[in-house]
Amino acid sequence: MRTIAFHNLGCKVNSYELEVMRQIAQKRGYEIVQFEQKADVYVVNTCTVTNIADRKSRQMLHRAKHTNPEALVVAVGCYVQTGAEKLLQDVCVDLAIGNNHKTEIIDRIEEALAAREAEQPPERHAVPRMIREDLAGPGVYEPMCMEHSPEHTRATIKIQDGCNQFCSYCAIPLARGRVRSREAREVLREVAHLTEQGCREVVLTGIHIGSYEAPDTGEDLVSLIEGICAVPGVSRVRMGSVEPRLMTRENAQRLAKLPALCPHFHLSLQSGCDATLRRMNRHYTAKEYADSVSFLREAFDTPAVTTDVIVGFPGETREEFEETRRFLERLRLYDMHIFQYSRREGTRAASMPDQVPEEEKKRRSEILLDLAKRCSEEFCAAMVGQDREALFEETETIGGEACLVGHTRDYVKVAVPVTEGFTPGDAAMVRIVAAKEGVIYGKRK
């Protein structure tokens, strides 16, 4: 029996796809081993969202070849799409498989192994076999389905791939191609299957899920969510990141009628300054973003709204940054992921004038990180004295005490002493008695 090791880099979409590849390998008779162990085959599911992600992808490929120089080392995914020239020169890579070919992983590995065995004598450090296609044109969604969730209580389900937004800083359309959506009936079938296995929460993910349009029914994302919430046994449905324009008043009101939908909404912002948003090629204004937040707060009782913000985008003056800071100060979102702008080859922003110095990016980042911390603590503190449903996932030692840890419906981390008698997989109402550093603490109600 051949051994195979997997390593994932990047987003929830990559995590879902890696788990599908892992399950395909198991069904084909491969023994799954840890990436640090010696294996016959290593698969690195790569990421290219930043320069750091590119570097980490190369590092993991090199680490695999160092662990076993005789192994077949396979690069898969986004970096294969954007970094093909570098990979073709990399002596540590034997096989490169792009996006939209991940379900073929074992067939391609066995072809490569057979070709290697047929070489007399075997060639060392030959040019890697490259299997990729140009995703710039209209494409077909690559069907894949996860048979069981590794998390048991929560399952991430991919519903869509690709992006047509072409933000000026983003390389993802180059790596993932144009928008492609999964058939609604396949999504519902996977949700039903995982729910029957005991999964309590499903998280919908994709590259740009707000663009979802079912090829079989024509349904949009909100209609799909309504269908998922109607699947027998579904307890929680959580949305991945969406564009703020999706959250119209009508859509917010439709979603608020779904008891299973978690009131946690990640609306990507990037900047609170309209001039910066235009340079980023974001298709909304700061006011439109604020309106979307208002619609959610009208429809839901204190929804958890989270976001992403980029600091130091080319041309961002101190005045523009201050406009963003004031905007976020007014909105008081539950959580903010703060990123320093990273220059990406092949994007329009990479050649824009007035690149912001690294030290200034760091300074701005620290300001917003401090604001994010204060807003998160404020959101959590407001829960003290309330009853919240917690879905427990695992045990963890916090402050020297063994706790069962999980998340509320609005995705706030909650910890309860193990002496309260809950077990992983339980969903129960707990009384919140304290909040500290983004974690709320509860006891059995």
Cβ contact 190:147 at 8 Å? no
pLDDT for 120 equals 58
Q: Determine the topology of domain 154-379 in CATH.
A: pyruvate-formate lyase- activating enzyme (3.80.30)
Q: Determine the topology of domain 3-131 in CATH.
A: Rossmann fold (3.40.50)
pLDDT for 13 equals 97
pLDDT for 445 equals 85
Cβ contact 203:156 at 8 Å? yes
Span(s) in the chain for CATH 2.40.50: 387-444
Whole-number Å distance between alpha carbons of 274 and 344: 22
pLDDT for 122 equals 55
pLDDT for 121 equals 57
Q: Which pairing describes strands 427-436 and 3-8: parallel, antiparallel, or unpaired?
A: unpaired
pLDDT-flagged residues of the chain (< 50): none
Residue appearing with tokens 């680490």: 63
Whole-number Å distance between alpha carbons of 316 and 322: 10
pLDDT for 302 equals 94
The CATH class for the domain spanning 387-444 reads: mainly beta
Query: What is the pTM for the complete model shown?
Result: 0.94
Cβ contact 171:347 at 8 Å? yes
Count CA atoms closer than 13 A to 397's CA, side-chain side: 1
pLDDT for 68 equals 97
Cβ contact 73:64 at 8 Å? yes
Q: Which two tokens stand for residue 179?
A: 């928008």
pLDDT for 116 equals 85
